[in-house]
Structure 1
Amino acid sequence: MSDQRVRVREMLTYLAAALPRFTSPAGRLLALQCALRADTRGQVQLPTGLLRGMRLHGRKEVWEELAHGGWLEMPDLRLARLAVRLFDAAVLDQAPGRGTRRRAAHWALRPAPLLPPPAAPHSLQLTTLVLAAHTCVQDHHSADMDVLARLCGHSPHQTADLLDRLTAIRVLTAWHHRRDTDEVLWQLPHERKPTHPAVHPEQRHLSQP
């Protein structure tokens, strides 16, 4: 697993605990970029081009939810290059160095080998990123459903729906939920042999309550 993938995986885990549960997928993606790009004083500058590419330029409500949760100071959105101050002390004690974290921030924008369409909703982008952070070089890709749901900020049922949507747009070839172990497995389009049985589109992945 690459250093960038490991760093993003660690940061997603941190954000799942640090951010309020109601934080939107767009807010989680924005917080990830801020945390990975911050210096040792908790300061970060985000160029307008980056925010436009993330489809977050001018999205005041996304900044407000992070500020309301006490995670950062509301920036002046009129500036061409936003200066943001983070409050969480855990961000100040990050390791490894800033260069490694910035490379991880760039990887998180296009987390190969899983790449959703550029216009995909932020919920699908975040789910793709979480899967990419748990995708190994081998053909066996898996994670617990509870972990995926927590990092995506959704319930297991909502996460299952998002995995179905990623399969429908061919980001994934197939995915399967093992109810006995709560393990989720997925297959990527470029892989020749399936790592698990494909799931019929009409079959529920989760047991009903």
Structure 2
Amino acid sequence: MRLCFPQSDVRRTWTVELLPQPGGPVLVCQQCAQGGQRLTGPAARSEVLAHLASHARRDLLPAHLRTCQCHERGCGWHPRHRGCHGPIRLLLARDHGGRAWRLTDACTACAAATSQAAVVPETILAAAVSSRGRANTRRKRHPQGPDSRTRVQEMLNYLAVALPTATGADARLIALQCALRMNNVARVRLPLGLLRSLRLGSASEAWRELSEAGWLRPFMSDGGVITAQMLDAALLTQHPARPDRLQAADWAVRSASSIQTDSAPLPRLAALALAAHTVAGENQGAVSAEQMARECGCRITALPVILKHLVAEEVLVSWTGTGEAGDLRWELVSNRA
């Protein structure tokens, strides 16, 4: 049985010629399909070497697959010697008094036997490739403007003005996600799984409320995703950086889902509003009772019942209020902050 070894399709020999012309030498590459490239006299050599190096960078091959190209061609590039041995090197050779240049893989023995040739340190190619890779790597993006907590707080305050007073808590939770997740043409796609995370189900009544308020126009769900076109043009000026808005939307989902045992949307919206108004890095916060009621879409008189419910759900440690029009203060459970 004859053993067959895979042969590489990558040719590891690149040859260019410099053809003298009245306006200057022309570089002709045997591997490139395009015609000759005219060179300037003083920089001709540099451009030849750069052209050959570009081929070597594009046609990279693992070291264990590289073979001595000189031996493949019958060792006709040098006088006879004892045979191929030693590691494979990248060899640059000059022929015909500098009118032809060759870059090829050659073993250490063949490289030493080749006249007018020099071994090219492959660290030069590796450094060029790595620097090029770093240049093409996208820089890590840093958030612009306020953090997620502040973005949600500002959007809740905006929705308290933009939406009708009677808009329900489930519709406000959806409106918040739509406002934070919409793209640059004011269109948003909400997965049904996200609505389930908020324990809203299909929320058909909430979508109807937002549609009748003229705030958005929902479309039919497709493949588990609900698409809507936002009709509030002012939203395009609220948060210009979409990656930061998406991060804030995820933060809002986690905060609104902090209540595990209750499916009512109003306590979830209240828990989200409290978290948004809590000082970052602390467990305590304060806001006017009137503003909290507007953001939750409820009456001020309903706040004590909601807050007591959040204490029972272990979202709040305690809360205090100084009258209906006064400040509301609270302390979140440490793992909810």
Confirm or deny a common fold (TM above 0.5).
yes
- SS of structure 2 residue aligned to 1:67: helix
Establish whether residue 122 from structure 1 lines up as the match of residue 265 from structure 2: yes
1:201 equivalent in structure 2: none
Letter in 1 for 2:196: R
Q: CA deviation at 1:141?
A: 1.6
Deviations 1:106-138 (Å, cap 9, x if unpaired)?
0001129x9222644110100000000000133
Runs of 4+ with >4 A deviation: none
1:131 corresponds, among 259, 263, 274, to 274
1:87 corresponds, among 218, 231, 234, to 231
Letter in 2 for 1:17: V
Deviations 1:66-109 (Å, cap 9, x if unpaired)?
00000001321465222110000111223240000000000001
Q: CA deviation at 1:52?
A: 2.2
**CA distance, structure 2, for counterparts of residue 17 and residue 180 of structure 1:** 20
1:71 equivalent in structure 2: 215
Q: TM-score, normalised by structure 2?
A: 0.53
Letter in 1 for 2:183: D
Deviates more, 1:3-12 or 1:136-145: 136-145
Letter in 2 for 1:71: W
1:188 equivalent in structure 2: 332
Establish whether residue 12 from structure 1 lines up as the match of residue 119 from structure 2: no
Q: How many residues align?
A: 189
**CA distance, structure 2, for counterparts of residue 12 and residue 66 of structure 1:** 15
- SS of structure 2 residue aligned to 1:146: helix
Counterparts of 1:15-26 in structure 2 under 5 Å? Answer: 15-26=159-170
2:203 equivalent in structure 1: 59
- Is the CA contact 1:21–1:153 (under 8 Å) kept in the aligned structure 2? yes
Letter in 1 for 2:318: A
Q: CA deviation at 1:179?
A: 3.0
Q: TM-score, normalised by structure 1?
A: 0.83
- Is the CA contact 2:192–2:202 (under 8 Å) kept in the aligned structure 1? no
**CA distance, structure 2, for counterparts of residue 141 and residue 124 of structure 1:** 17
Q: CA deviation at 1:181?
A: 7.3
1:40 corresponds, among 184, 188, 191, to 184
- SS of structure 1 residue aligned to 2:216: coil
**CA distance, structure 2, for counterparts of residue 145 and residue 36 of structure 1:** 25
Specify every segment of 5 or more residues in structure 2 that has no aligned partner in the other structure, as ranges: 1-145
Distance change in 2, residues 1:178/1:104 (3 Å):
same
- Is the CA contact 2:181–2:246 (under 8 Å) kept in the aligned structure 1? yes
Deviations 1:127-157 (Å, cap 9, x if unpaired)?
0000000001335421111111111111111
Deviations 1:147-190 (Å, cap 9, x if unpaired)?
11111111111112101111122211111012397111112233
Distance change in 2, residues 1:17/1:87 (3 Å):
same
**CA distance, structure 2, for counterparts of residue 181 and residue 23 of structure 1:** 22
Letter in 1 for 2:277: H
**CA distance, structure 1, for counterparts of residue 222 and residue 177 of structure 2:** 19
Higher relative contact order (CA 8 A, sep 6+): 1
Distance change in 2, residues 1:179/1:67 (3 Å):
same
Letter in 2 for 1:121: A
**CA distance, structure 2, for counterparts of residue 30 and residue 160 of structure 1:** 24
Q: CA deviation at 1:48?
A: 2.1
1:168 equivalent in structure 2: 312
Letter in 2 for 1:64: R
Establish whether residue 148 from structure 1 lines up as the match of residue 307 from structure 2: no
- Is the CA contact 1:45–1:82 (under 8 Å) kept in the aligned structure 2? yes
- SS of structure 1 residue aligned to 2:239: coil
**CA distance, structure 1, for counterparts of residue 260 and residue 220 of structure 2:** 30
Pick the structure with more strand per residue: 2
Distance change in 2, residues 1:166/1:138 (3 Å):
same
Structure with greater Cα Rg: 2
- Is the CA contact 2:289–2:324 (under 8 Å) kept in the aligned structure 1? no
Letter in 1 for 2:267: L
